[in-house]
Copies of this chain bind each other. A is one copy, B any other.
Amino acid sequence: MSRNGKTVRDFGERGLIRWFQDLITPYDKALLSGMEDAVAVPVNDKALVVNSDMLVASTDVLPGMTADEIAWKAGVMGLSDLAAKGALPLGIVVSLGLPAETKANFAAALVGGLNCVSREHDTYYLGGDTNQCVELVIDCTAIGIVEQNHLIRRRGANPGDLIAVTGEFGYTGALFEAVLRGHKKPKKVVETIREKALRPRAHIREGQALAKADAVSAAIDSSDGLAWSLHELSAASRVGFRIDALPIPPICIEFATSNDLDPVSLALYGGEEFELVVTVPPNRWKKAQEAIQKIGGNLIRIGKIVDEPEKILVIDDDHRVIKPHGFEHFSK
């Protein structure tokens, strides 16, 4: 595609990122490739892992979200990629962009929320920057460390590896349908879904437990949706995947049935659930389970890595292709 006259919308977020990669001088000591969700550089024997994620009101804030919920989401967006690398957070540094007419109480609630999400993940809101901006922007940079030999990468899965996740999928997909497409019944169900969807957790403890146990071959978080994460994870290792068990909460199935929606689509393409998606060599499965049990988390087997090009969901005898769809900025 010729670039002259084209806008960033024409390229799409991922097209842009691929182009931008070629414009950047690689750092020869970097411990993660340029296509990863975080950067990592050596500091003594440790890997310093840093991830910046920008929350922008016009694209990332659902109608009706409170300051506290917005701040929570911004913090989890930053921390979740550290979880996928197995890193222990040292803290978050946050740049706030606020429209000048923002109520001061709202701004303070954002700051209080950022403090809260940090403390709830056993880390600290270390500081940052405050600016005037046309719209609300929260750029959260999470900083963490992990032993270099425990750093988990997106690449490393092999055919035969089990695929597992740290929780269920469907809440955010259901919430998007409720808020953005008017599927609002049953009311009580939607309220519960809202609460669950807007309080995701970054799975820091799970990531660290798996890293320390050396139990996984690859990992990614599911911030862009389970389907997209599976595609990214498999593309990094040039393998395929076969999913045979999707953990969908009963309440999301109830919501889907009530609104004539497909619960599988809600689970696959919703995005922003921040569960970890990991691959585990069969001989390390027990080790992985024990590590997760010890910290009181969940590790749910959903399928396995296979040879390319298979990228499917198998339910009973029904084979369904999982599409590389997920949230993307500048998407048409």
Contacts and interface: CB of A to CB of B under 8 A. Distances in A.
B90 A43 contact: yes
Interface centre among A48, A131, A329 (most CB of B within 10 A): A131
Given A23-B111, A23-B115, A137-B137, A9 B101 contact: yes
Interface string A22-36: 011111001000101
A115 B25 contact: yes
Interface of A: 3-11, 13, 16-17, 19-20, 23-27, 30, 34, 36, 38-39, 41, 43-44, 46, 48, 50-54, 56, 58-59, 90-91, 93-105, 107-108, 111-112, 114-115, 118-119, 124-135, 137, 139, 141, 143, 145, 329-330
A78 B303 CA distance: 44
A129 to B, nearest CB: 5
Given A48-B143, A58-B132, A330-B100, A108 B27 contact: no
Contact of A126 (B3, B20, B39): B39
Secondary structure dominating the interface of A: mixed
A42 to B, nearest CB: 9
Given A100-B7, A104-B8, A53 B95 contact: yes
A39 B91 contact: yes
B9 A329 contact: no
Contacts of A114: 24
A8 B104 CA distance: 5
Given A39-B91, A39-B93, A108 B3 contact: yes
B100 A134 contact: no
B132 A95 contact: no
A9 B130 CA distance: 12
A326 to B, nearest CB: 15
A292 to B, nearest CB: 27
A252 to B, nearest CB: 28
A16 B13 CA distance: 34
Q: Which 7 A-B pairs have the closest CB atoms?
A: A27-B124, A54-B95, A39-B126, A139-B139, A9-B100, A132-B329, A39-B127
Given A50-B143, A102-B8, A130-B13, A44 B44 contact: yes
Given A104-B3, A105-B3, A127-B34, A111 B20 contact: yes
Contacts of A101: 7-9
A174 B103 CA distance: 35
A133 B137 CA distance: 8
Interface centre among A3, A8, A53, A119 (most CB of B within 10 A): A8
Nearest to A90: B41
A93 B52 contact: yes
Contact of A133 (B9, B115, B135): B135
A248 B145 CA distance: 45
B137 A97 contact: yes
Contacts of A30: 124, 126
Given A44-B44, A52-B129, A56-B134, 19 more contacts: A7-B104, A11-B104, A16-B104, A16-B130, A20-B130, A25-B124, A34-B127, A39-B91, A39-B126, A39-B127, A41-B90, A50-B141, A52-B95, A58-B133, A95-B139, A130-B329, A133-B135, A135-B135, A143-B143
